[in-house]
Amino acid sequence: MLVPAPTRLDEMGAEELLDRIARLAGVPDAIDCSDTRFVDPYGVLVLLAVGLSAPYRRGRAWGLVLPRDPAVLGWLDRCGARRHLEKLFIVDGPVAAEDASRRDSGRDPVLLEVALVREGADVHRAVSRIKA
């Protein structure tokens, strides 16, 4: 069973996605973001939270269909979100035009990369990057 994501994964759209998941009678197999046209940091955070919770609910990762929109995919690549989503979900969807090594080397210096924060040193690395 696919859960369709809203066309915008901003605060309202992300909350709508969570509501759709909560109202399901069963457990979804995947979240379908193929028609999503906009994702902001809050939307990424909600997707990551759902991805982290999925194995505990079902015993395995859920699927995630990536957005078809190249601008959205590009943003997910540049901020590092796609790399983290690929660790949490079984990802399906368009393949980026560049391989992962080229994607990582060409990060946008204006965007703050999505980072896992487990300890104080992780916060210090993020602050150092912001200062630089």
pTM above 0.85?
A: no
Query: Residue 65 is encoded by which pair of tokens?
Result: 């269909």
Report how many domains make up the chain.
1
Q: What count of other Cβ atoms lies within 10 Å of the Cβ of residue 30?
A: 18
Q: Which domain holds residue 113?
A: 2-131
Q: Which region holds residue 82: left if phi is over 0, alpha if psi is between -120 and 50, else beta? A: alpha
List the chain pLDDT tens, one digit each, 132 residues. Answer: 899 999 999 999 999 999 999 998 877 889 999 999 999 999 999 999 999 887 667 677 889 999 999 999 999 998 889 999 999 999 987 664 444 444 444 455 555 667 777 888 888 887 887 777
Q: At 40, which CATH number? A: 3.30.750
Round to whole Å and give the CA distance between 28 and 59: 12
Partners of residue 32 on adjacent β-strands: 4, 65
- Of 106, 98, 100, 14, the closest CA to residue 51 belongs to 14
